[in-house]
């Protein structure tokens, strides 16, 4: 049959009463109530009620309607009728129904939300799960979130770059790497674009950002960790850590505001009203964070300890809003973070925290070649393996700072989602590599 795409109605309103419209989508629900039959058609704009009065409807149209299975793909042409009791204030009285592709029965899962499904069932059948309005709303919001990020950073003078995901050297050291066979040598999936975005500071591209995949071979099995995630990274020259902290907090507030405006219908589907974070975010030093934890928790921390999940929870409950932890011990931060000149045991590093979890980490970076090489050695790494990176520091690299922000964590805290897998289309964790 001919698929007349140009003739389809993009959106119907009650003001189109008595006009003819043509829609395409999926059969969301079928209700046969004797003398009247309802089809609920689902398309990208939402749900449309299609009403068939059996005494007056064309018998051929009625017969096609009775043969439909849920989730079949169809087109419907009909007359718009204003109806305050119907969803969106109108219904469609069909004059023609065409079946483009019938769906098999039974379905692998319910798409109406009336029958819930386990997370594994949903992920195994993600193509079907995304047909559920609430699931699709999450990913429409994700689109608007990333669009807002790009728009904000472009306005701030950043340009978007793309860095390799196959690398020869660990970005941050450690063993959390996925090795791969790369022709006749070993390579790894990249943990972060960190080294490459710093190299661009040497190249004179003094404000860059990237939104891309990162890989961590950590055997986590939690609600907030994945082995493949999306990181929003920035790097900027001639600025310190305080400058990029301000960029970060303004970005987060901008994203909340933009999403609340541009994704209002999707937020409404989820029953969410966003509260725009107030600026500036509170700033705690690492020492102050340890004090807050030790005052309110039985799990005491000593200076030099990293913050545990419990400590993050305790401090988050006390602060109750987005906040920064800054001025960390040098030895527990990556080799590329810049120590204070007058107190080298403290580094110009920071973490952005939501009351539920860490969202971002950043710092002013070391730009001195000799100090950077020494810090790599101090952390038990071989500087020779970082030669491609260190080379950029020999020929004039300016002071620079940056951060990496977890896109999934930003979205899940924004929407108060409990499991990070609910904000990733096809999540990758230690148990799942398909679909």
Which of the residues are catalytic?
216, 218, 224-225, 358, 361, 409
Name the phi and psi angles at 275, rounded to 5: -100, 120
- CA 341 – CA 347 distance, rounded (Å): 9
- CA 419 – CA 412 distance, rounded (Å): 8
Judged by phi (left if over 0) then psi (alpha if -120 to 50, else beta), residue 173 lies in left
- CA 210 – CA 352 distance, rounded (Å): 18
**394-406 as b/e, with b when 16 or more CB fall inside 10 Å?**
eeebebbbbbbbb
User: And the tokens for 160?
Assistant: 């978007």
Check: CB of residue 429 under 8 Å from CB of residue 267.
no
DSSP-based three-state secondary structure for 432: strand
Tell me the H-state helices in 215-302.
241-262, 264-270, 286-296
- CA 37 – CA 56 distance, rounded (Å): 12
- CA 266 – CA 178 distance, rounded (Å): 36
- CA 412 – CA 28 distance, rounded (Å): 27
């Amino acid at each position: 049959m001919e698929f007349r795409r140009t003739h389809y109605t993009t959106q119907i309103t009650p003001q189109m009463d008595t006009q003819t419209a043509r829609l395409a989508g999926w059969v969301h629900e079928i209700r046969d109530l004797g003398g009247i039959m309802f089809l609920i058609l689902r398309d990208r704009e939402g749900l449309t009620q299609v009403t068939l009065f059996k005494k007056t409807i064309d018998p051929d149209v009625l017969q096609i309607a009775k043969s439909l299975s849920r989730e079949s793909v169809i087109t419907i042409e009909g007359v718009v009728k204003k109806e305050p009791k119907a969803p969106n204030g109108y219904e469609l009285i069909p004059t023609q129904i065409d079946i483009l592709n019938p769906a098999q029965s039974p379905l692998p899962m319910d798409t109406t939300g009336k029958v819930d499904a386990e997370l594994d069932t949903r992920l195994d059948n993600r193509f079907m799960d995304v047909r559920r309005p609430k699931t699709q709303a999450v990913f429409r919001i994700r689109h608007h979130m990333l669009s807002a990020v790009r728009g904000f950073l472009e306005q701030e003078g950043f340009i978007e770059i793309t860095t390799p995901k196959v690398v020869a050297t660990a970005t941050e050291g450690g063993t959390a790497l996925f090795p791969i066979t790369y022709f006749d040598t070993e390579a790894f999936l990249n943990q972060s674009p960190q080294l490459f975005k710093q190299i661009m500071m040497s190249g004179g591209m003094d404000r860059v950002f990237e939104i891309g995949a990162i890989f961590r071979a950590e055997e986590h099995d939690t609600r907030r960790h994945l082995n493949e995630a999306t990181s929003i990274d920035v790097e900027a020259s001639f600025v310190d850590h305080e400058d990029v902290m301000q960029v970060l907090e303004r970005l987060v507030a901008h994203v909340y505001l933009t999403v609340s405006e541009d994704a209002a219908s999707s937020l409404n589907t989820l029953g969410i009203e966003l509260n725009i974070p107030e600026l500036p975010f509170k700033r705690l030093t690492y020492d102050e964070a340890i004090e807050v934890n030790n005052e309110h928790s039985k799990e005491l921390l000593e200076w030099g300890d990293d913050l545990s999940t419990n400590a993050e929870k305790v401090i988050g409950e006390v602060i109750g809003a987005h906040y920064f932890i800054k001025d960390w011990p040098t030895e527990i931060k990556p080799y590329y973070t810049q120590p204070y000149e007058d107190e080298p045991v403290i580094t110009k590093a920071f973490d952005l925290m939501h009351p539920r979890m860490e969202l971002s980490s950043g710092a002013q970076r070391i730009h001195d070649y000799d100090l950077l090489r020494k810090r790599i050695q101090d952390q038990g790494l071989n500087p020779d393996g970082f030669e491609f990176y260190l080379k950029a520091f020999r020929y004039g690299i300016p002071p620079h700072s940056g951060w990496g922000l977890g896109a999934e964590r930003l979205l899940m805290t924004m929407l108060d989602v409990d499991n990070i897998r609910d904000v990733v289309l096809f999540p990758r964790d230690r148990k799942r590599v398909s679909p």
